[in-house]
């Protein structure tokens, strides 16, 4: 039995691509090396128009392309040529008996399913972009990489050409193996995107006791400088469709780090939530937690209120805005004494971009465009031995549904401010307590082992602004197990407390609020973020 060689000569190539970027130069380079070109449909026409000699796929198979191109490469003379193990006598004999010629290289990129989906095309059109023959050829060639090379992206063409030049028209086993791994990743992400869409399109119920399949639908990732720490490697994998940090346009500044991206994602999520109930919103994030946040009507005053939430922590933070940044807003952002690592906005004017880039040359400006409503989806958290998956926390804030259980009835301004603070506490690490007023967040306690300590930290962070406030509000992401938390907040000057309720000792907190003339509202829902 013959062992697979380290190098395989490329004598016959099958080319079938939807993305025809650089396919003519690549095919020309193959033809100049004496490679026979076999091709399908539109690819064959493009190559022939460039003056290349091409063998049509129906000449190879003996069958015409049919059914609007759905059936053209699913044939033994294609897949036998891809799958034959040339070191096995039985495979060589079968190929000779049935007139199957070996195929040394396959160049395939798949139908543009995700692009068609993102365009808003109707389901019937999306379905036609589900590739069948392409993934089949990719998988066959990748499986038989000991003999066959599989090329799935125009980005690979130059490297293939260079190696053919260096090795007298041959490709190494290392290259064939690497290409095969990339190919299987390509089909995996492609199938995941299709499965995700079909589950959503069919309205499949994922809330029953049977665990739903996890389909991430991510595209090929790219390396980051490092992870949370310099000794950790890291990568970013954008989704095939949708919007978010990895789809934002970077206008200036240094390369984004792993931590930058994590913080920027947290900032965008918070400002998008706040923006649902206000025309202007600002969020400042440090270590994925809000250190300043506000919502209102005027972008300049909202920015000032957000910065005032915790000016010490805000320095070197990530700022997300709900409003377009024009030159006046840019000047306001760029005030002396401020420094930001990342600034996000739906749009920056040219003048604003120039001003902020001049103020902080390394600061990253990210233009995230128009955000669609947050779709339903899942959150995945890896743990030792597996993963945990849950639905996104997309609960909308409706203060009119809250129960007024103690103290004076809140006025509309208080209720609006409480709505914003309840949104903010959702984005803090639990146990979480946020203290604020109509100006926005004044202080936050997050990530503590007990809720009382979170209350004390929030009060300390709020400082003199809390003492000066006449309508301070506190929100808690979960119920208070004892009345000591509410008492601590009330003693510091809080006039309204918002919490889910549900403790066995709720009545003690209610009685305390009634005695002290403090409003207490029960949301009936909690917002843990572990």
Catalytic amino acids? 143, 287
Taking CB atoms within 8 Å and a gap of at least 24, the contacts of 353-360 are 353/251, 353/252, 355/327, 355/330, 355/331, 356/252, 356/325, 356/330, 357/251, 357/252, 357/253, 359/334, 360/253, 360/334
Buried b (16+ CB within 10 A) or exposed e, 336-354: eebebbbbbbbbbbeebbe
Closest by alpha carbon to 471, among 522, 410, 524? 410
Contact 318, 360 (CB under 8 A): no
At 381-407, the pLDDT tens digits run: 888 888 888 888 888 788 889 999 999
C-alpha to C-alpha distance for 200 and 377, rounded to whole angstroms: 9
More confident residue, 145 or 94: 145
**Average pLDDT, stretch 471-494?**
96
**Average pLDDT, stretch 362-374?**
86
Backbone angles phi, psi at 150, to 5 degrees: -120, 125
At 52-90, the pLDDT tens digits run: 888 887 767 667 676 766 666 767 777 777 778 877 778
DSSP for 185-207, written as a single string: HHHHHHHHHHHHHHHHHTT----
More confident residue, 378 or 223: 223
Contact 437, 420 (CB under 8 A): no
Tokens of 512: 């305390």
**pLDDT-derived band at 188, boundaries 50, 70, 90:** confident
Residue 248 reports pLDDT greater than 50: yes
Residue 91 reports pLDDT greater than 50: yes
Domains of the chain: 7-197 (3.40.50.1380), 242-367 (3.40.140.20), 397-522 (3.40.140.20)
Residue 440 reports pLDDT greater than 60: yes
At 116-125, the pLDDT tens digits run: 887 778 888 8
Pairing of strands 170-172, 433-437: unpaired
SS3 state of residue 157: helix
More confident residue, 207 or 434: 434
Q: Which residues pair with 389 in a beta bridge?
A: 380
Predicted local confidence at residue 432, as pLDDT: 95
Backbone angles phi, psi at 318, to 5 degrees: -115, 125
**pLDDT-derived band at 423, boundaries 50, 70, 90:** very high
**pLDDT-derived band at 210, boundaries 50, 70, 90:** low
More confident residue, 140 or 342: 342
C-alpha to C-alpha distance for 527 and 425, rounded to whole angstroms: 8
Predicted local confidence at residue 417, as pLDDT: 94
Residue 219 reports pLDDT greater than 70: no
Residue 485 reports pLDDT greater than 60: yes
Residue 46 reports pLDDT greater than 70: yes
Predicted local confidence at residue 69, as pLDDT: 64
Contact 46, 23 (CB under 8 A): yes
Residue 424 reports pLDDT greater than 90: yes
Residue 2 reports pLDDT greater than 60: no
Predicted local confidence at residue 1, as pLDDT: 45
Q: Which residues pair with 14 in a beta bridge?
A: 38, 106
Residue 265 reports pLDDT greater than 90: yes
The number of angstroms, rounded, from the C-alpha of 202 to the middle of its chain's C-alpha atoms is 23
Predicted local confidence at residue 182, as pLDDT: 87
Predicted local confidence at residue 261, as pLDDT: 95
Averaged pLDDT of the chain: 87
Contact 19, 109 (CB under 8 A): yes
Q: What percent of the chain has pLDDT over 90?
A: 49
Residue 163 reports pLDDT greater than 90: no
DSSP for 94-117, written as a single string: HHHHTTPPP--EEEEE---HHHHH
């Amino acid at each position: 039995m013959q062992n697979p060689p380290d190098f395989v000569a490329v004598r016959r190539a099958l080319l079938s691509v939807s993305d025809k970027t650089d396919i003519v130069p690549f095919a020309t380079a193959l033809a100049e090396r004496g490679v026979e070109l076999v091709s399908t449909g539109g690819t064959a026409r493009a190559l022939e128009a460039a003056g290349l000699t091409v063998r049509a796929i129906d000449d190879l198979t003996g069958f015409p392309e049919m059914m609007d191109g759905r059936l053209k490469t699913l044939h033994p003379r294609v897949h036998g040529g891809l799958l034959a193990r040339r070191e096995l006598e039985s495979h060589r004999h079968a190929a000779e008996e049935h007139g199957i010629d070996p195929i040394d290289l396959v160049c395939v990129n798949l139908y543009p399913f995700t692009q068609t989906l993102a365009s808003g095309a109707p389901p019937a059109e999306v379905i036609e972009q589900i590739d069948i023959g392409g993934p089949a050829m990719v998988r066959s060639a990748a499986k038989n990489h000991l003999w066959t090379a599989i090329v799935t992206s125009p980005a690979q063409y130059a490297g293939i050409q260079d190696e053919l030049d260096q090795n007298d028209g041959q490709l190494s086993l290392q290259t064939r193996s690497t290409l095969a791994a990339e190919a299987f990743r390509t089909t995996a992400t492609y199938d995941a995107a299709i499965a995700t869409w079909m589950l959503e399109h069919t309205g499949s119920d994922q809330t029953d006791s049977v665990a739903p399949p996890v389909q991430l639908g991510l595209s090929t990732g790219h390396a980051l400088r490092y992870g949370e720490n310099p000794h950790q490697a890291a990568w970013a994998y954008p989704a095939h469709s949708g919007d978010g940090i990895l789809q934002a346009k970077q206008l200036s500044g240094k390369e984004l780090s792993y931590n930058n991206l994590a913080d920027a994602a947290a900032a965008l999520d918070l400002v998008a939530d706040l923006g649902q109930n206000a025309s202007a919103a600002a969020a400042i994030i440090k270590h994925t937690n809000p250190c300043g946040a506000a919502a209102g009507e005027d972008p300049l005053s909202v920015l000032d209120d957000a910065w005032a939430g915790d000016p010490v922590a805000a320095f070197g933070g990530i700022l997300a805005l709900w409003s377009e940044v024009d030159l006046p807003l840019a000047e306001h952002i760029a005030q002396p004494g401020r420094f930001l690592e990342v600034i996000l906005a739906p749009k920056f004017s040219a003048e604003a971009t120039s001003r902020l880039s001049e103020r902080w040359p390394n600061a990253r400006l990210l233009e995230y465009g128009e955000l669609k409503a947050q779709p339903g989806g899942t959150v995945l958290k890896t743990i030792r031995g597996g993963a945990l998956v849950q639905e996104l926390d997309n609960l909308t804030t409706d203060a009119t549904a809250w129960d007024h259980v103690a103290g004076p009835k809140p006025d509309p301004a208080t209720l609006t401010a409480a709505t914003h603070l309840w949104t903010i506490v959702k984005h803090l690490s639990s146990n979480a307590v946020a203290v604020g007023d109509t100006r926005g967040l004044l202080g936050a306690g997050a990530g503590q082992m007990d809720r009382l300590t979170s209350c004390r930290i929030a009060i300390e962070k709020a400082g003199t602004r809390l003492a000066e406030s006449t309508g301070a509000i506190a929100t808690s992401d979960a119920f208070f197990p004892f009345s000591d938390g509410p008492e601590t907040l009330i003693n510091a000057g809080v006039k309204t407390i918002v919490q889910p309720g549900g403790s066995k000792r709720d009545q003690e907190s209610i009685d305390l609020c009634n005695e002290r003339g403090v409003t207490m509202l029960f949301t009936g829902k909690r917002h843990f973020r572990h």
